[in-house]
Structure 1
């Protein structure tokens, strides 16, 4: 019996030695003795795989390269947890997107937590984006009223400063939108939006008074002075920049109804307001105007012929639907889309012919107001 016990004890001892040796051999066979480590971080584009990163912006997909990474369960950038997808985790590479959320606590560390509870840290700052300003719902807003600015990376606290130096009262902040009360003293020009991570000047002008070719202040041209509203009544939209045009009637199917315009000699000096560069490089410009629809623009068409020598050219058709629900909004149309509808024009120092008409399919029960037709740069050169 003692012999049997000795044999069993010897077997257990040998088995333990073999298991320990096997475990040590397996661990020793792994890189870095089985301990996770990060060698570098790079971009994920195969054509630029040798481009190493020492920092990255929010939302960017990166590749973390190292050894023994396959048991990663969590990855953090500062105090923001990233989303992990199992197929993108291997022993040597992890593909992960830098979180878009703004961190509360910034330590500039990338942290990987593994299944056994161990944590690996790596110096890797996240670049927090400065504000991006794309447009305003309406570029003409009265002092005391609320303007809506659209874009991205509006991280509180946000300040909005208007040309002239007056800062607006921030009413609401979302990641892609800021609502601000326009201060007294706000002047036409760019606005400045600032956060703790940078500031930016808009590429549009607030109350943009540049290059207006139809304003109705005063009325000029051949057609429809009766559409001009000079003293708004209770039923009229509020004025945003002096006189404006209001069309309140039925527009029949394919009716040709002039809205505004005429030749240069009828339009007067305003006909010369289209910049030479806009004629030569329309892709660098927008056609903009303010629109208020008390009834939806849901039928017919509005045709534009802007920046031409005379009326014997084609027209660009701006098609429905569009509904501002009784508020003024800024309409933005790439000018190259307009000019693509007719032959290339030449610069004319004597001014340009303009024609804006209703003409299209379907009867329109129209109640639409217009103001500030202008051709303005897409990007303001620094």
Structure 2
């Protein structure tokens, strides 16, 4: 029943012609208004009649003597009427995005003479949709943000351990909640009057962590990286990547003084069992790479994330494009300015389908990224390396990044 239109303008242009052709009847108020049916707005599916639709859907109310409509209500929410989309025979209208407070399951039209017309019609509202949690390792008593859709009060958020969170802020796409005492590792449950949803993400996710830089580290690899404990809010050690790039130094390979640009994790060298880091390596489209990160300062360099074979890539996973495409992460690029996380840890999610780039050096020794033609090879997923490479605009550009709890889980 739900129709999603990515280009509303492209849809409305042919409809405007239909409205114009029908407009000659607009003032023919010789009879009582009537609604015959409601249909989808797409001209190619105009015979698809509706008994209900979803928030935000564009529909057509079809009848007679409708030209005097001045208001149109779905339950207790008033829709926006555009005069050029109203004729005696049809009204094109978007269902409001707001959830009703009082549910009547009717359309009600108010006409210019004050008369009204009701028609049975259900506005279907989805159960909550949960997309992400800003910090999956947030401490008890701290506030974090959950994003998604269809967040309508009254709403409850429960953590594994059967404890309910205090919901501080609610809008349709965002919840701010305080982590309750007794919250345990596992999924959350969010409930509204329209349904209940369990999250695919976990609070304090313990699934498939292969790097926590404590008992699961990258030791044995050529450049395992620097482990530190100088940033609070998470337990134990973290990986620290830091340095300062200039335009003529785009690709430092390892520690240079206090600078640490790279951390390689090779499964065999680190003493891990043979096999892939991905639970089902042949289905990367179903999985995401996650880790917690804290950024003090970052501009003009990208974090390259490169899979390698279990039995040691010989450093070639970062230098070549032969094993698998790489992912790149550079949150500073969206606004082209220095990025930091405001002194907080965040959870980073990278779909494995985003591992899609080749890295090359041009004649000026600048780093370039291009879409990869390399076919995904599940055999080359037994290790994972991080390598910070400068973007061409780097010029005295420092970075300081902390990473922990590296895992691959279902999305």
TM-score normalised by structure 2 residue count:
0.76
CA distance in 2, matches of 1:270, 1:157: 48
1:373 aligns with 2:406: yes
CA distance in 1, matches of 2:303, 2:225: 18
Partners of 1:140 and 1:241 within 8 A in 2: no
Q: Describe the SS at the equivalent of 2:271.
A: helix
Q: Which residue number corresponds to residue 178 of structure 2?
A: 181
What does 1:60-139 correspond to in 2, within 5 Å? 60-139=57-136
Runs (5+) with no aligned partner, structure 1: 1-29
Q: Describe the SS at the equivalent of 1:217.
A: coil
Q: Deviations for 1:75-133, whole angstroms, at most 9, x for unmatched residues?
A: 11112111001111111111111111222222222111111111111111222332121
Q: Which residue number corresponds to residue 331 of structure 1?
A: 348
1:193 aligns with 2:190: yes
Q: Which residue number corresponds to residue 12 of structure 2?
A: none
TM-score normalised by structure 1 residue count:
0.81
Partners of 1:282 and 1:339 within 8 A in 2: no
Q: Which residue number corresponds to residue 57 of structure 1?
A: 54
| Distance of aligned partners of 1:74 and 1:312 in 2 relative to their CA distance in 1, 3 Å threshold | same
1:345 aligns with 2:355: no
Number of residue pairs aligned between Structure 1 and Structure 2: 339
Deviation at 1:273, TM superposition (A): 6.3
| Distance of aligned partners of 1:197 and 1:320 in 2 relative to their CA distance in 1, 3 Å threshold | closer
Which residue, out of 309, 312, 316, partners 1:312? Answer: 316
Q: Which residue number corresponds to residue 277 of structure 2?
A: 274
| Distance of aligned partners of 1:324 and 1:37 in 2 relative to their CA distance in 1, 3 Å threshold | same
CA distance in 2, matches of 1:326, 1:223: 31
Deviation at 1:251, TM superposition (A): 4.5
Q: Which residue number corresponds to residue 290 of structure 1?
A: 292
Name the stretch that deviates more: 155-164 or 322-331. Answer: 322-331
Which residue, out of 378, 381, 385, partners 1:355? Answer: 385
Q: Which residue number corresponds to residue 300 of structure 2?
A: 299
CA distance in 1, matches of 2:387, 2:264: 9
Q: Describe the SS at the equivalent of 1:262.
A: coil
Partners of 1:150 and 1:178 within 8 A in 2: yes
Deviation at 1:270, TM superposition (A): 7.3
Partners of 1:74 and 1:113 within 8 A in 2: yes
